[in-house]
Amino acid sequence: QVQLVESGGGLVQAGGSLRLSCATSGGFFRSSAMAWFRQTPGMEREYVSGFSRTGGYTYYADSVKGRFTISRDNAKNTMYLQMNSLKPEDTAVYYCALGTGVITSQLRVADAYGYWGQGTQVTVSS
């Protein structure tokens, strides 16, 4: 059974940094598309960043380009999101997701991913 567990969220002042981790188990990590999404109350999940299914390409939402960096450690089956220069508008619950059959055109679509973590809260104070 595939499981994803996020960690690393917390409260930080604007301009600060956090590093999120997504530890996976149950297989498929190296052969699946992986992504970070975030969600605020009353809003749909928003794509933040991710890897293509082969891991060869990375993608970022325009709102985080130049501030966030995604990475992965295949030996640990873990994905990371380094978040720098955080802004209050980055406040959200951050989720990691795994999709075994996600094609490139659907990488930013939440419904394309079949496995999700429980989420970790990131709060950026002004």
Tens digits of per-residue pLDDT, 110-124?
999 999 999 999 999
Q: What is the mean pLDDT of the chain?
A: 95
Residue 27 predicted with pLDDT over 90: no
SS3 89: helix
User: At residue 55, does pLDDT exceed 80?
Assistant: no
- In degrees and rounded to multiples of 5, residue 112 shows phi and psi of -75, -15
Could you tell me the two tokens for 19?
Answer: 């590093």
Contact 102, 53 (CB under 8 A): yes
Give the pLDDT of residue 121: 98
Residues in the chain: 126
DSSP 14: T
Measure the CA–CA gap between 8 and 71, rounded to whole angstroms. 14
pLDDT value of position 100: 92
Pull the structure tokens for residue 49: 């960043």
